[in-house]
Amino acid sequence: MVALAVLLLVAVAVFLRPWAQAALLLVDAAELRGPFGWLAKLGDPVVQTEEVQVSTRYGAIRGRVYMAGAATGKAAVLVHGLHAAGIGEERLEPFARRLAVRGVAVLTPEMEELRRYRISPQTTDKIEDAVSWLLGQQRLAVSGRVGLIGISFSGGLSVVAAGRPSIRDRISFVLSVGGHGELHRTARYLCTGQLPEDRGYFRPHDYGLGILLLNLSHRLVPADQIGGLEAGIAAFLQQDYPEGRRMISSLPLPASRILTWVDARDASRVGRLLLPHLSAFASDPGLSPERSDPPVAPVFLLHGQADNLIPAAETELLARRFLGKTSVHWLITPLISHVELGHSAGVRDMWRLEHFLEELFEALNR
Which residues, 6+ apart, have CB-to-CB distance to 177 below 8 Å?
149, 150, 151, 152, 155, 302, 303, 336, 339
41 and 118 part of one domain: yes
What local confidence, expressed as pLDDT, does residue 41 receive?
56
Domain boundary among 282, 311, 328: 282
For residues 38 and 144, membership in a common domain is answered with yes
Domain co-membership, 164 together with 219: no
Q: In what order do the strands lie in the sheet with 171-177?
A: 47-54, 61-68, 104-109, 74-79, 146-151, 171-177, 299-304, 328-333
Picking from 260, 282, 304, the residue at the C-terminal end of a domain is 282
6 and 110 co-located in one domain: yes
pLDDT of residue 331: 97
Q: pLDDT at residue 254 above 90? A: yes
pLDDT score, position 252: 98
pTM, entire model: 0.90
Give the separation between CA 239 and CA 306, rounded to whole angstroms.
23
Does one domain contain both 143 and 61?
A: yes
> What is the structure's pLDDT at 34?
44
Statement: residue 148 has pLDDT above 70: yes
Query: What CATH number should be reported for the domain holding residue 50?
Result: 3.40.50.1820
- How many angstroms separate the CA atoms of 337 and 93, rounded? 19
Task: For 192-228, write each residue's pLDDT tens digit.
Answer: 999 999 999 999 999 999 999 999 999 999 999 999 9
What are 327-353's pLDDT values in tens digits?
999 999 998 876 566 555 678 888 898
Single out the residue in 229, 250, 282 at which a domain terminates: 282
Of 11, 48, 307, 55, nearest in space to 180 by CA:
307
Strands 299-304 and 171-177 turn out to be: parallel
Residue type, 208: G
The pLDDT of residue 45 is 84
Q: Residues of the chain with pLDDT > 90: what percent?
A: 78
Question: What is the pLDDT, as a whole number, of residue 19?
Answer: 42
Domain shared by 278 and 302, yes or no: no
User: What mean pLDDT comes out for the span 122-137?
Assistant: 98
**What's the pLDDT tens digit per position in 268-284?**
999 999 999 999 999 99
| Mean pLDDT computed over 92-100 | 94
- Do 175 and 314 fall within a single domain? yes
Which residue range forms the structural domain that includes residue 303? 2-182+288-365
Task: Please tell me whether residues 341 and 264 are part of one structural domain.
Answer: no
Q: Which residue has the higher pLDDT, 357 or 158?
A: 158
Q: CA 120 to CA 117: how far, in whole Å?
A: 9
Q: Are residues 61 and 176 in the same domain?
A: yes
Cβ neighbours of 202 (radius 10 Å): 15
Q: What is the pLDDT of residue 15?
A: 37
Contacts of 122 (CB under 8 A, 6+ apart): 58, 113
How many domains does the structure of the chain reveal? 2
Distances (CA, A) of 357 to 21, 76, 127, 331: 9, 15, 23, 10
Single-letter amino acid code for the residue at 215? N
Q: Residue 69 has what pLDDT? A: 78
Q: 161 and 195 share a domain? A: no
Task: State mean pLDDT over 246-270.
Answer: 97
Specify the DSSP element, H or E, that contains 68: strand 61-68
Q: Please give the average per-residue pLDDT across 119-139, as a whole number.
A: 97
CA distance 56 to 111: 11
